[in-house]
Each structure stands twice: as structure tokens, then as C-alpha cells.
Amino acid sequence: MNPEIEFREGLDELAATYHRVLQLLGEDPTRDGLLKTPMRVAKAMQTLTRGYTQDAHKVLTDALFAEEYDQMVIVKDIDFYSMCEHHLLPFFGKAHVAYIPNGYITGLSKIARVVDIYSHRLQVQERLTQQIKDCIEDTLHPMGVMVVVEAQHMCMQMRGVEKQNSVTTTSAFSGAFNQAKTRQEFMNLLGK
């Protein structure tokens, strides 16, 4: 899906809702600067939530290869942007993903696509981290998976406590990563 061209059903209704939101905020949606804002915001929201229409498991299985490699595979520093489901404000950062193959590998870019699909939904960072891990685990059946997500949250920086330099880190792991030594190897390779 090219998010700049293809939009989902309900776009006009979503734009009408944003028109009303502008009114409720005390703005005049008919003034020059805001005339096209409701549709722009509706399109932006559909783009930011396009992950609902994508299948992360299929992305991995479309590039599944038999391979006897049984050491850690790491894709680190995967940039992502998501929307906090509590305030509809962005959070963004980097995801680091590792898995130990068990007879099958997937295309490296597919790991980044999994992050992209789950981050393009209304989210909390904890669930995002778990969904990435679960998808890789359930699809590739590796000997282990570990995901670390580091993010800045606009809901903490723009409102509420207004802490500008805070970073939230979450992790999820399974299988071989249940061993502290394996987790530490992953963290060392990340340079953490």
C-alpha cells in the first residue's frame, strides 16, 4: 500500500470528524489555513495506522528460507514511529531484534517490516515489544527471540510531566534468551 495514494474506507467521515474537532477547540475550520486540515489529518491518521491492514506473519513467511545457521541474527537500530493509544500522540525510537534460527531464516528487511506493521497501529510500547517478539516466535519457531525497544514519548514530553530527555526501554524474550548469558551477549552486541 502506498500510503500517499491509497486510503481506506471512512476517509471522508474521518475528515468530517476532524472538522468538528476543530470547531470544538474554538477554531474556525473555514478559515484559509484550516480549510484542508480535516482531510490532511484524516489521511495522516490512516497512514499512521496502516498496520491494521497488514499481516506481519505473512511478511515473514513470504521470505522464509531453509538454512542450518544456528547463531544469533540481530537487526538493530530499526527506526520506528507509533501513536500512543492513550493520548493519540507520537512515540518514536529504535527497535533491536534478535533471533536464533532453528532451521529457517527470513529476509533481514522483513524483521524491520514487522516492526513497521505493529508500530503503525495505536499502541503502547510494552505491547509493541511483545507483538514483535510473538510474531517472530510464532512464525519462524526459532530457538529464541529477543526484542528491545527504546522510545521517546510525546505524551511525556509535550504534556503531563513534560520531561524532555526521558527514554523508555522495554524488552521481551523467549527460548534461548531466557539464559542471562545469551541476553548479555545480545546487549553486548548492541553496545549497551
Residues 94-104 pLDDT 10s: 999 999 999 99
Q: How much of the chain exceeds pLDDT 90, in percent?
A: 90
pLDDT for the residue numbered 5: 61
Cα angle 138-82-155, degrees, rounded to a multiple of 5: 130
Average pLDDT over residues 8-36: 97
| Single-letter amino acid code for the residue at 156 | M
The per-residue pLDDT for 161 is 85
Known active-site residue 141: no
In this prediction, residues 38-63 reach a mean pLDDT of 96
User: What mean pLDDT is predicted for residues 26-30?
Assistant: 97
Catalytic choice (54, 57, 87, 157): 87
pLDDT band at 160 (very low <50, low <70, confident <90, very high): confident
Non-local (6+) Cβ contacts of 188 within 8 A are none
Assess whether pLDDT exceeds 80 at residue 86.
Answer: yes
* Catalytic-labelled residue, pool 19, 46, 84, 135: 84
Instruction: Sort 129 into a burial class: Cβ within 10 Å, 0-12 / 13-18 / 19+.
Output: buried
Q: Any catalytic annotation for residue 125?
A: yes
Give the tens place of pLDDT for each residue, 169-186.
Answer: 999 999 999 999 999 999
Please confirm, yes or no, whether 67 is among the known catalytic residues. Answer: no
Confidence label for 6 from pLDDT (cuts 50, 70 and 90): confident
84 as an active site residue: the answer is: yes
The reported pLDDT for the residue numbered 1 is 45
What is the model's pLDDT at position 73?
97
Segment 140-154, tens digit of pLDDT: 999 999 999 999 999
Write down the catalytic residue from 46, 123, 125, 131. 125
155 counts as catalytic: yes
Q: What is the dihedral of CA 191, 59, 154, 167, to 10 degrees?
A: -20
What mean pLDDT comes out for the span 81-98? 97
Q: From CA 114, how far away is CA 51, in angstroms rounded?
A: 9
The band of 42, judged by pLDDT with boundaries at 50, 70 and 90, is very high
Annotated catalytic residue: which of 6, 67, 85, 126?
85
Is 135 one of the annotated active-site residues of the chain?
Answer: no
What is the structure's pLDDT at 9?
A: 93
Judged on CB neighbours under 10 Å (0-12, 13-18, 19+), 68 is exposed
- Compute the distance between CA of residue 108 and CA of residue 60 in angstroms, rounded to an integer: 9
Q: Taking 60 as the threshold, does the pLDDT of residue 3 lie above it?
A: no
From 74, 96, 86, select the one nearest 122 (Cα to Cα): 86
- Residue 115 predicted with pLDDT over 90: yes
